[in-house]
Amino acid sequence: MRKFAGFVATISLGISAIAATPVLAQDAAAATVNLAAGTRVFDSEGAELGTVTSVAGANVVVDLGEGKQVTLPSNAFGQLEKGPTIGATKAQVVAAVDQANAGSEAKLTEALQPGADVRGVGGATILGKVKLVAQDGVVMTTPTGDVKLPRNAFFVGQTGLATSFTAEQFAAAMKEVNTAAAADDAAVAAALTPGAEVRSLKGAAVLGKVKSASADAVVVTTASGDDVSLPRSAFLMSPSGLAAAYTAEQFAAAVAQATGEAAPPADATADAAPASAQKPAN
């Protein structure tokens, strides 16, 4: 499974209810308001609202801080001596953003169901389908493979569930991810030779040595002489070399389960749960 880097989606907020064009901003003067990226924006009380991060047509994105952004129409801004202003207080804007967030999150939870189509940001193109929703992200099935995206990469638009990618951006990102994954797979295949050491997930411990490898499974001989079969997909390249997706404690517990021996206490802080280990048939 492939994984995209995380990013934060911008929240769009209908501003008509809380930030009508300020008294100081006349329509004729609106065009003179400086809304360039990096410009500080002030609220109706003269307090700093946030900073303009981008402008696209008539839409202006303002960063409110603390991970919150709001999209406002350009004609909602007037001009004070110290900079652009809107006809609402920061508290009103933040409250509206929080309310919009709560509603959007509820809609997103309802829409993120296995099998649901995922569209590009414009809504015209279906990029893939939801495969799995987990705490650390959402797995999508696409024509070029599975990929995990952060939950905040998704939103519910007019056409349904969508991501913050255009079709072109998504295709380019998938190509980059698949190229990197193919290189990693090739490195793992080259490393899976009889006698090669297999290290733990973090690379600190040697779990055993490769005995044999196939397209589906790898047999590892442990220090105690037991042979255990691990799924081929559990192997990766770490900075220390060939590794399996186990901590030392998890691997010992999996070996114990496969051999019937007493298992040591599991590591509660382990950063990845192990795949099932099976003792190969004689």
Distances (CA, A) of 19 to 30, 74, 80, 167: 14, 11, 16, 33
| Distance (Å, whole) CA 177 – CA 218 | 25
Beta bridge partners of residue 73, listed in sequence order? 59
Of residues 94 and 280, which shows the higher confidence score? 94
User: pTM of whole model > 0.75?
Assistant: no
In 3D space, the residue among 78, 14, 85 whose CA is nearest the CA of residue 49 turns out to be: 85
Distances (CA, A) of 41 to 19, 98, 168: 13, 19, 33
DSSP 215-245: SSEEEEE-TTS-EEEEEGGGEEEETTEEEES
In 3D space, the residue among 245, 238, 241, 183 whose CA is nearest the CA of residue 218 turns out to be: 245
- What single DSSP character describes residue 151? G
| Distance (Å, whole) CA 253 – CA 248 | 9
Q: What is the CA radius of gyration of the chain?
A: 26
Beta bridge partners of residue 71, listed in sequence order? 12, 61
* Mean pLDDT of the region 125-129: 92
Residue type, position 211, single letter: K
pLDDT at 276 over 70: no
pLDDT tens profile 8-54: 444 444 444 444 334 344 444 444 788 999 999 999 999 999 999 98
CA dihedral (169, 129, 104, 135) in degrees, to 10, reads -100
Pair type for strands 145-149 and 2-3 = parallel
| Distance (Å, whole) CA 279 – CA 282 | 9
- Among 24-38, 228-242, 256-270, the range scoring the smallest mean pLDDT is 256-270
Tokens of 121: 């940001």
| CB 274 within 8 Å of CB 254 | yes
pLDDT tens profile 163-195: 888 888 888 888 887 787 788 889 999 999 999
State the pLDDT confidence band at 2, using cuts at 50, 70 and 90: low
| CB 141 within 8 Å of CB 129 | yes
Q: What phi and psi values does residue 49 have, to the nearest 5 degrees?
A: -85, -45
- Among 69-83, 172-186, 225-239, the range scoring the smallest mean pLDDT is 172-186
Please report, rounded to a whole number, the percentage of residues in the chain having pLDDT higher than 70.
Answer: 81
- Any idea how long the chain is? 282
Pair type for strands 48-56 and 77-80 = unpaired
pLDDT at 249 over 70: yes
* Mean pLDDT of the region 47-67: 90
Beta bridge partners of residue 208, listed in sequence order? 198
